Structure 1
Amino acid sequence: MMTQFFDTVPEPVAFAGRSAGLGQLAYRVYNPDRQVLGRRMEDHLRIAVCYWHSFNWPGSDIFGHGTFDRPWLAPDQDPMDAARAKQDAAFEFFEKLGTPFFCFHDVDMAPEGGSLAESRANLDAMVDRAAAKMEATGVRLLWGTANLFSHPRYAAGAATNPDPEVFAHAAAQVRHMLEATHRLDGANYVLWGGREGYETLLNTRLRQEADQLARFLTLVAEHKHKIGFTGTLLLEPKPQEPTKHQYDYDCAAVHGFLERYGLVDEFKVNIEVNHATLSGHSFHHEVAYAVDNGIFGSVDANRGDPQNGWDTDQFPNSVDELSPALYEIVRGGGFSTGGFNFDTKLRRQSMARDDLFWGHIGGIDTLARSLLVAEAMVADGTVEHAREQRYAQWGSDLGVDIMKGGVDLASLADKAVADRLSPLPVSGRQERLENEVNRIIWTTPS
C-alpha cells in the first residue's frame, strides 16, 4: 500500500486567511464553516476533485510524452497493483486538500480487462476498496460516469454508433458504473457524449443517431429507477472536440433534445466552464439559461485560454468571470445534488507533486471569493432591481393580456392602431450595470 505520496505536504490544507505566509499551502479565502446566505461555504460550493486529470493523466500532449511524476502509470506494472497505488495517492490528496467530494470514470479507477466480465470484476474490487477509504476519510462521491469515448470501439460514438453491438457494450458499461455509483452513494451520475456527434455528414443519418441517443438515455433513466438510485442524472454539453459537431452542443441544445424526447424530467446539465466558452457563450450565459429553464445540475470548474481554441482545462483564476455565474446559481437556490468539480489539468511544466495542491487551492479560493461577491450582489440588489424595472411594463393590463392569451394577433394589432401606440426606446444601461458589478467586486471584503 502506497502511503505519503505527497510527502512534502505533511498536514491537511487549512484556512489561514490574510495571515497565510508567502509560499504557504493554505486557503486565503475558502473557509468551509463560514456562513454565506445562511449556509456554510462548503455546502454552497460542494467542491470535488476529478480522478482522471489529477491521477490518470501523465501530462502528455500531441507533441510530447508525459512529464508528470505518476509512478502508477508506468507500463511495466500489474494493472491492479497500479490501480491500488493510484487510489492510495488519490485519497491521500482528497484528505489533505480537505475537499468533501471526488468524481471518477470507471476506467480511471480500475483497469479495463480483456472482457466486460473481467472489467466488471476489476471495478467491483476497486469500488469496494474505495468504499472503505470513503468511510475512513469522510470523502464522498459527487458523481460517477463511464468512459464511452477513449477506446477505439467508440470512434464513431457509443449510443449513436452505427453498430448496435457497440451500443450494447456501452449500455453494459453504463449499467455497471451506475450501479457502482449507487453503491458508493453518489449524489449524481454523468453522461458525457464525447463522441456522440459526427465528423462528416456524408456518412451520417442525423435523425437515426438522435433517436438512438434518446433510446440510450431512456434506458439509463429506467435503470436508475429500477435500482432505486435517487441521485440526479446529468448530461454535459460540449460543442465539438473530439468530433466536428456534438449533439449536446450547449445547454439550449440539450434542453431542446430532452423536451423533444420527453426526458426533461429525468436529466439536468453538468456545465463545464471551458465547454461554455468553446460553444461561443460565456459561462454566465450557460448557467443563467440552465437555472431559468430548470435544468441546472452541476458544474465542472475550469477555464480555457482565449488564445487557444480548444479545451485546455486550466484552473479557474478569474473572480470577474465567475462572480456573475455564482450570482445566478445562488439566485436560483444553489446546488441541490450538484457541486463544483475541478475538471482541471496542471500545465505540463508543473511537475512537482505539490503543484497539484497549488492549482486546486488557487481555484478553490477563486470560487470562494466569487461566492462572497455573489452574496454581496444579492444583498446590494442593483442587478435584480434593474431587471425588475426593465420588464415592469409586462405587469400592466396589456402585458398580462398578451401573455395569458387574452388577445389574438388581429385584436392586438387593432389596439396598437386605435391607441396610436408609438413607444420610445429605453436605455438598457449596460455600462452602468457593468460598473456597479465592478464596484461590488472591488469593495467586497474577503
Structure 2
Amino acid sequence: MKTKKRKCLVMLIAMLVPMTSVTLSGCNGKNEVSNATPDQATTQITTQQITTQEQTKPTVAETTQAPKPDYHEAYQAYKTVLKQNAFEIRAYDYQNKTDESKQIVFEDIMGDDTPELIFVKSVEDTYNDYTYVTLNIYTYSDGECKEISFKDKDEYQLQTSLQYTYDPYILFKSSDGKDLYLFTQRRTTSNVCRFFKFTTDNCEENEIDFKMIMEQTKTEIPNISNSGNLFDEEVGYDKCDKYKYDILDNMGSLLLYSDYLDSDYGNYYSPEKCKGMSYSEAMSFLAKYDSDSQNNADYSPIAGFYRVIKNGMVSSTVEIADDGTFKCEVKGFSADKYYESVCSGVITNLKKISDNKYTFNCSDTVIDDEPETRYINGKEWAIERCDNDFDTTDELTLYTEGTYPTDMREKDYQNYKFWNRNNSENPIPNKMIFLDNGSIYDLSSKN
C-alpha cells in the first residue's frame, strides 16, 4: 500500500515539474533543442544575450585632437612683403625708449582665423623734407596675399617727424578679443586723445575703417575750456576721461605702440606686454616657415653699400642688407631733367662660384611710387622715371676684394678695362657687382 502511494506521489511531482526544453540558435543558423536544466538554460541565454549585445553595440568614434592650423603659405607671403619694405621698416625709430622698435605683429583682425600681417614703416617725403609713419595691413586668402586699404584714405599716417607732432599711439584688442582699438595722442598747445575702433561696416572687399569714437582735448590755451566728444556728441571732458580709462583698463592683447613723448599712459604698455616684434625678430619667427634653405642663406659676403661707376650727373646706389634685402636708388639731373627710380627687392639664388666670385638674382622687385615732382634748390622739377639696374631677371656677378681682373669672365673684364684703363691689371680694391647691361657697382660708403 505504501509503495503504491509513493509511486503516485512521484508521478504527481513529475506532472507538476515537466522536463525543461530550450530552443537555441546554432552556429549554422538552425534551431537546436537543448535538454539543459533551468539553471543551465538561463546561463546559456544570458551568455548569448551578452554576446549579441557586444556584436550590435555601436562603435564610438575615437576622439582626436584637431590639427593645429598651418599658416605656411601665408607666412611665406608675409615674409616677402616684409623684405620688400625692409629698409622703411628698419628706418622707423620713433620708439626711442627701446633699443629696437617692435613694429611688426601677426594677428587675426579680419575674423577669418588667419593672422594678418600688421606693421608700421617710415616713409620719406622728399618734396616737403620730412618723414611720416604709416600703418600697413596685409591679409592672406584664397591663396593670395592682399593689401588691406583704408576707407577714404590712400594711406593711414600714424606719425610725422614735423616738430611737436610725434604722436604716441597704442594698437590693442579688448580683453574678449572682439574689438580692435587705436589710441592716439597729439601734443601741441593741447593734448588731444582720440580713440578709433576698427570696423568693416560699409567697406569694400579688403577695405577697413578706423572710425573715431572719442576725442578728448586738454588745452593749455587761456580762456579755452577742456572738451570731450563721444560718438559725435559733446559730452564733456570728464565723461570722456571715464570712457577712455574704461577701454584702456579692458585692454587684452597689446599689438603695437609708440611711447615717444608719452608720460601719461606708461602703465598700459611695455616691450614685455607687447606682441609686436622687431624686424630681426620677425625674420627669425618666419624662418621656420621657409620652404628651402635658400631663404636661410648667408648674405654677408655680398652685403654692403655700392655706387655705380659712371660719368654724368645721374647717380645710382644699391644697399644690400645681411638678410638679402636690397634697395637701389637712381637720382640726378641730365639734360635739364631730373631722373629718379627707387627699386627694392630680395636677393635669391646666391651661389659661391669660387673664393672670389658669387652670382645671384633679384626677385620680388618693387618700384616705389614716389611723388611726381621734387623741390630742389628752390625750384620745382617734374620727375622723369628711368630704368633701374636691379629691376632685372638677369644673373648678377660679384667679385670680392683682391680679385685679378684677368680672372673675371671675358665680358666683365672688357667692361672693367673700359672704366679703369690705368688700373686694369691690378687686383680690385673693393667688392664689385657686374651686370649684363654693362653697369658696375663698387663698394663704397653712404657718406
TM-score per shorter chain, which class?
under 0.3
Give the number of the structure whose residues are more often strand, by fraction: 2
TM-score, normalised relative to structure 1: 0.25
Question: Greater CA radius of gyration, 1 or 2?
Answer: 2
Give the TM-score taking structure 2 as reference length: 0.25
Higher relative contact order (CA 8 A, sep 6+): 1
